Amino acid sequence: MLDDYIALNGLQLKRDKTGKIHLCRSFQFEFSSTGNERYNGQIVMIGYRIESIQMEPYRFFEENK
């Protein structure tokens, strides 16, 4: 789940696989899986298509203490 932070951190023109030129944007964001810790991620888009998503390793659940 996104943690109220997303920022554009890159903008350029890039050709897609067919040779057409599109706007290439990269976004950096923070997310939380348990609500306690925050992790970083990045999305790269070419036009309206997602090119890649990278996320830091994160916990799926909280450990019982």
Query: What SS3 string covers the chain?
Result: CEEEEEEEEEEEEEECCCCCEEEEEEEEEEECCCCCCCEEEEEEEECCEEEEEEECCCCCCCCCC
Residues 6 or more apart in contact with residue 34 via CB below 8 angstroms: 59, 61, 62
Q: How many domains does the chain have?
A: 1
Residue 8 sits in which domain range?
2-15+25-55
According to the model, what pLDDT value does residue 39 have? 87
State the CB neighbour count (10 A cutoff) for residue 46: 20
Listed as ranges, residues in the chain with pLDDT below 50 are none
Q: Residue 25 is encoded by which pair of tokens?
A: 């944007």
